[in-house]
Amino acid sequence: MSKTFYIETFGCQMNAHDSEKVIGTLERQGYAQVQDEADAGLIVYNTCSIRDKAEQKVFHRLNEYKRMQGEGKRFAVIGCVAQQEGEKIFEKAPYVSLVAGSASYRNLPQMLDRLEAGERRITGLDDRQTDETFETEFTARTNPHRGYITIIEGCDKFCAYCVVPYTRGKERSRTSASVLAEARRIVDEGYTEIQVLGQNVNSYRDPSGRMSFAELLTALGQMNGIRRVRFTTSHPRDFTRDIVEAMDATPTLCDHIHLPVQSGSTAVLQAMQREYTREWYLERMSWIHGAKRDISITSDMIVGFPGETDADFEQTITLLGAVRYDSVFAFKFSPRPNTPAVAMEDSIAEEVKTERLRILNERQREIQREHYGRHLNQVLECMVEGTNPARGQVVGRSSQNKTVNFVMQPGQPAPAVGSYLPVRITRTLPNSLVGEAEAGPVFVPEQRQRSPLVVLQ
């Protein structure tokens, strides 16, 4: 087998960052990444299983791989569908040699040795009980602006609709010392923005007992060289007031919280086993609305959960108005294997789900159109991500994670990617902002080596 690999990644940010660590591990073992699957000795497929018959899509893609079989070519299926389908993958796609879920990636070097030795049925399907996390210094950081750090893996929440506790295993955190050491390393490489990740990031519990989640955020925010710290995804159940207090006290903690509510109806939340009520959630919103800075709030929502009535759905719509989110990712409920909700009758007709999704998105768009208006004439610090030459615009990102398209002052040079500069907002749209660079201080971080970008679907 030639020591080249091609990797394809689906799913959430945790999965994308897992791929960065898998790429780093492969490179460490002497593999070189190629951008064309035809050139690869090893094809790695990092899968997601969150919604919509994901396993069918995976098997469909594996069928396409069948045609690519060739001298010495090997296939590895990893991630959430790998964990969920396990050895069934070998039955349906016998040309696959390695099937591994994320809780087994720490054993990847040994699995690769076995693959190279010619073994054709290698599994990493640890049960959900492992206490270990995937920690590696070999991470191919593919985002040139943001360094990701996973601080907590797995999930113990068992929401009735969700596959994650089954695919990613038990909740387990890294020590604060190890997280801070990784942050120090990547800041020394030149990153100025860090995003800490976890399926429930704020359920973080330092195994050494030294720091709470809010204290860890503060320590990251105070680290020399760090300009922005983000965290995602938070869970309302574990959302404590000290997180907002930490944000108040530490300006480098970005003005954004992603706090998925899933439904505005307490009855539906209960059926979902979310373990909070509408009022509990709204109380947390009031803490955030009461913060010293304008903190952007975003959410995920599910429509058409089994038993959701018109009145329940109406509660979700009124919640949109009460919170005034800056963005909502809304999904139709889809029954997933192994979850309690799969045994409930999927009682809401597809047309009703579609209609509820449409109403929700429409209402949210109205809210955003109006709510984004608050930024008009504000001066926001933007990090430059690139340029849009066709429009003569620079593309930047605000602390609230909003896209800002802006022009430079006449005669002002184009800013370096990764630099920060003040931008006055001249126009607001429902999903982005438009502005002009101000003649203020520009911060340009030191240059660093950059890895090629992973193409995310």
What is each CA distance from 283 to 11, 159, 241, in whole angstroms? 31, 21, 10
Q: Which of 69, 67, 87, 68 is nearest to 77 (CA)?
A: 87
Q: Which is nearer to ligand 5AD, 264 or 435 (CB)?
A: 264
Does residue 164 bind ligand SF4 (CB under 6 A)?
yes
Helix or strand or coil: residue 425? strand
Point out which residues pair with 46 in neighbouring strands: 9, 78
Binding to ligand 5AD (CB under 6 A) within 259-278 occurs at: 260, 262
User: Cβ of residue 272: shortest distance to ligand 5AD, in angstroms?
Assistant: 10
For residues 395 and 212, what is the distance between their CA atoms, to the nearest angstrom?
35
Binding to ligand 5AD (CB under 6 A) within 120-179 occurs at: 161-162
Listed ranges 140-148, 162-170, 312-320, 441-449: which one lies at the site for ligand SF4 (CB under 6 A): 162-170
For residues 158 and 66, what is the distance between their CA atoms, to the nearest angstrom?
36
- Continuous segment of H or E residues that includes residue 151: strand 146-153
Point out which residues pair with 257 in neighbouring strands: 297
What is each CA distance from 201 to 128, 209, 229, 293, 407, in whole angstroms? 18, 16, 13, 22, 36
Tokens of 175: 């020590």
Does residue 53 bind ligand 5AD (CB under 6 A)?
no
Does residue 154 bind ligand SF4 (CB under 6 A)?
no
Please tell me the count of residues contacting ligand SF4 according to CB under 6 A: 13
- The answer to whether the CB of 34 falls within 8 A of the CB of 316 is no
Please tell me the count of residues contacting ligand 5AD according to CB under 6 A: 12
Among 142, 143, 167, 428, which residue sits at the site for ligand SF4 (rule: CB under 6 A)?
167
From ligand 5AD, ligand SF4, none, which one binds at residue 80 (CB under 5 to 8 Å depending on kind)?
Answer: ligand SF4
- The answer to whether the CB of 441 falls within 8 A of the CB of 412 is no
From ligand 5AD, ligand SF4, none, which one binds at residue 51 (CB under 5 to 8 Å depending on kind)?
Answer: ligand 5AD
Does residue 28 bind ligand 5AD (CB under 6 A)?
no
Tokens of 297: 């709030």
Q: Which is nearer to ligand SF4, 20 or 255 (CB)?
A: 20
Q: Which residue has the tokens 């994670």?
A: 401
Among 175, 240, 277, 334, which residue sits at the site for ligand 5AD (rule: CB under 6 A)?
334
For residues 90 and 58, what is the distance between their CA atoms, to the nearest angstrom?
13
57 φ/ψ sector (left φ>0, alpha ψ -120 to 50, else beta): alpha
Does residue 163 bind ligand SF4 (CB under 6 A)?
yes
Helix or strand or coil: residue 187? helix
User: Cβ of residue 50: shortest distance to ligand SF4, in angstroms?
Assistant: 4
Print the binding letters for residues 57-96 with ligand SF4: x by CB under 6 A, - otherwise. Answer: ----------------------xx----------------
For residues 34 and 57, what is the distance between their CA atoms, to the nearest angstrom?
24
User: Cβ of residue 83: shortest distance to ligand SF4, in angstroms?
Assistant: 8
User: Cβ of residue 232: shortest distance to ligand 5AD, in angstroms?
Assistant: 11
Q: Give the binding site for ligand 5AD (CB under 6 A).
A: 50-51, 161-162, 260, 262, 300, 302, 331, 333-334, 336
Q: Give the binding site for ligand SF4 (CB under 6 A).
A: 11-12, 14-15, 48-50, 79-80, 163-164, 167-168
